[in-house]
């Protein structure tokens, strides 16, 4: 994914993924953002959380997206938050990162910016919507404007796998071996496109404050 120049508006696609399914969804959503002229996608992840709290990961991961900084979040024009489902909730590494954002919360740095969420599960009824709602809550506290997936995306009505109006989702299967399918890809890209358009349209709102 191209790295945006400093002045190019960007959507931050911030995700955690242990086995790669949520990362694949993040890449599809980012492709949707980048299909909109004038806005870039910035893919960032967060380190795993260790049971030994003092343990630290290398600052740069061995592969894939680099770790998000508070500045990535502060300067974004929109945010897509992605997590695997963990007991119907977002994964703790993402929550851990969000719990470091109180400075941005106090300063209203994310207020009036559009946001969305995406997830991946092992099972079809394993809590996709519930997990998306857990990601919505901190975004509302930050004053962000949540955008799901509207039903004009007709695959919401026909998908036999992932895809919800709360945000997009992927059914990875019990063995985590189910690829992101055509419906899930189409919906994730549409979600990214919509977020890109909203980020550009709402730019003047948060830049004015």
List residues binding ligand FMN (CB under 6 A): 17-23, 84-88, 120-123, 126-127, 172, 176
d(CA 173, CA 93): 22
Is 39 or 132 the residue whose CB approaches ligand FMN more closely?
132
Main-chain dihedrals φ then ψ at residue 76, nearest 5 degrees: -70, 160
Q: What is the dihedral of CA 35, 156, 83, 105, to 10 degrees?
A: 70
What is the nearest approach in angstroms of ligand FMN to the Cβ of residue 85? 4
Is 126 or 196 the residue whose CB approaches ligand FMN more closely?
126
- Report helix, strand or coil for 116: strand
Is 135 or 145 the residue whose CB approaches ligand FMN more closely?
135
Q: Which residue is nearest to ligand FMN (CB)?
A: 126
Is 28 or 85 the residue whose CB approaches ligand FMN more closely?
85
Residues 6+ apart with CB under 8 A from 177: none
What is the nearest approach in angstroms of ligand FMN to the Cβ of residue 63? 14
What is the nearest approach in angstroms of ligand FMN to the Cβ of residue 92? 9
β-bridge partners, 67:
45
What is the nearest approach in angstroms of ligand FMN to the Cβ of residue 33? 19
What is the nearest approach in angstroms of ligand FMN to the Cβ of residue 87? 5
Is 18 or 141 the residue whose CB approaches ligand FMN more closely?
18
- Report helix, strand or coil for 99: coil
Q: Are strands 40-45 and 114-121 parallel, antiparallel or unpaired?
A: unpaired
In the chain, what's the furthest Cα-to-Cα distance?
A: 48
């Amino acid at each position: 994914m191209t790295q945006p120049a400093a002045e190019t508006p960007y959507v931050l696609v911030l995700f955690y993924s242990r086995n790669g399914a949520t990362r694949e969804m993040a890449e599809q959503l980012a492709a949707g953002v980048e299909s909109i002229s004038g806005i870039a996608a910035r893919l960032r992840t967060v380190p795993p959380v260790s049971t030994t709290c003092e343990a630290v990961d290398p600052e740069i991961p061995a592969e894939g997206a680099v770790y998000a900084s508070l500045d990535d979040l502060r300067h974004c024009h929109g945010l897509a938050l992605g997590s695997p489902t963990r007991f119907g909730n977002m994964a703790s590494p993402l929550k851990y990162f969000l719990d470091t954002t109180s400075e941005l919360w106090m300063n209203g740095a994310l207020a009036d910016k559009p946001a969305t969420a995406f997830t991946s599960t092992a099972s079809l009824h394993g809590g996709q919507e519930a997990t998306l709602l857990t990601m919505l809550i901190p975004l509302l506290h930050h004053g962000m404007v949540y955008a799901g997936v509207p039903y004009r995306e007709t695959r919401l009505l026909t998908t036999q796998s992932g895809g919800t109006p709360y945000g997009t989702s992927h059914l990875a299967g019990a063995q985590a071996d189910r690829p992101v399918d055509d419906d899930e890809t189409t919906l994730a890209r549409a979600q990214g496109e919509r977020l890109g358009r909203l980020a550009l349209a709402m730019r003047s709102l948060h830049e004015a404050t």
